[in-house]
A and B are shown apart, each in its own frame.
Chain A
């Protein structure tokens, strides 16, 4: 066991530190996810509209998010705002802002995609049955859209949880960083600790993401 570095996990308060790190990762990503979903739903609906100004603006926003690596965004929000405006944003808050900025754009694009994938005849048949606009959306369009949206948005959510490891670049000591600290602190006494520690980090991420996957599966089944 020592060769695999399992023992270093139980040295001192290492396990507690890893769990504390996981909690920080989850706190950042889940706050960002909740805000992203709300804003993304609204923005996605808007993107399917005809207003050319809104279309252009959202297009630019989406491209910025696509083109910019998240790490650059983190540096901009954490260091850039201090340089330009003199704001001193906490590292964790800066991470939440960046992940929300990213999540909202991607979520909106997913919503837009799901909405336009509903064929025209769905609207027309519903109208032909005498439904009003509100009824058409409530009974026909929204349920189908949501069903298409769930697997896609779960992908996004788990991706956001995993990407929180980048926050270590601005000094947030999250689960992966704690793992690296443990590996390095024991480099001499257990040179192969990397295996055990990374395996543990993997399990922690898995424990965090698995329930979300299960929840999405449950929703898909319920709504199918």
Chain B
């Protein structure tokens, strides 16, 4: 009898503790189901019991943003940037944010007359940050694509990004037609370069690598006649390594890089568009390029990369 009594009291006390911890557990558990709405991994594991909560989430998923007036009234703007993508967004040795995107971010805060807080974002979380209103603007080298435009609102562009092809100096490819049936072109799997060449130039033989590092060393060892990737990457590669030339610096559909705000945040979007047009008059982004990108890309790619006043360059050849 005595034994039982001790067991029961113990169980009761622990039961209370457990209830507490389970309640906490349930709290975050129910978040799971709603998150499943656009998080494929979560959806797979948490398929059960989505139902009403997911519907609620869809309704107010973009409700979190702050309008221009609210930002100005609060006296502070939050901007999401990369903190490890030199030379676009990075942190220098004094702990200060620097780079092409950051140069623009600083100007935005200055012209709004508010304090500025940068948030370090990763490529995979940029859209989430906007949709939950945890940042006001994303300036993290965000390439405009139709898929992303459904999730967030892009302002006018401030940079071009296209594909580039780098070759060894002894045989510089300046046009895709120079690539013969015996040549191989290196690409990284899953990049726009791979998609573009597979679709538009199926006759070119591709040598595919999974990582930047593998592609780079294969190219250096002479595996392919040239290497196709984002033009910013190949230009930087040629600038940093001896013996290579970027023969084609913009290929394919020229994409642009633009600031993004939470979908529906019209006051902030309009202000940003006006700002970008206005900054075009003083050639702001050229100054930005000269301050932040010349070291990496040299002066000769300024016109290729910079978009001034929101006017994206004319479509490129090919």
Contacts and interface: CB of A to CB of B under 8 A. Distances in A.
Interface of A: 8, 11-14, 17, 39, 42-43, 45-46, 49, 51, 54, 57, 61, 64, 67-69, 72-73, 75-77, 79-86, 88, 97-98, 101, 104, 132-134, 168-171, 173, 177, 180-188, 191
Interface in B85-121: 85-86, 90-95, 98, 119-121
Contacts of B93: 8, 11-14, 182, 185-186
B35 interface: yes
A8 B86 CA distance: 15
Closest 8 CB pairs of A and B: A12-B93, A80-B35, A80-B31, A82-B132, A11-B93, A184-B84, A181-B91, A84-B34
Interface of A is mostly: helix
A105 to B, nearest CB: 9
A68 B45 CA distance: 7
Contacts of A85: 31
Given A83-B61, A133-B6, A49 B42 contact: no
B200 interface: no
B11 interface: yes
B25 A101 contact: yes
9 contacts: A12-B95, A42-B14, A45-B14, A61-B25, A75-B125, A84-B30, A104-B21, A133-B2, A186-B93
Interface of B: 2-3, 6-7, 10-11, 14-15, 17-18, 21-22, 24-25, 28-32, 34-35, 39, 41-42, 45-46, 53, 56-57, 60-61, 63-64, 83-86, 90-95, 98, 119-122, 124-125, 128-129, 131-134, 240, 295-296
Contacts of B119: 171
A88 B134 contact: yes
Contacts of A83: 34-35, 57, 60-61, 64, 131-132
Contacts of A68: 32, 42, 45-46
Given A84-B34, A173-B83, A76 B28 contact: yes
Contacts of A173: 83, 120
Contact of B84 (A17, A84, A134, A183): A183
Contacts of B21: 39, 42-43, 104
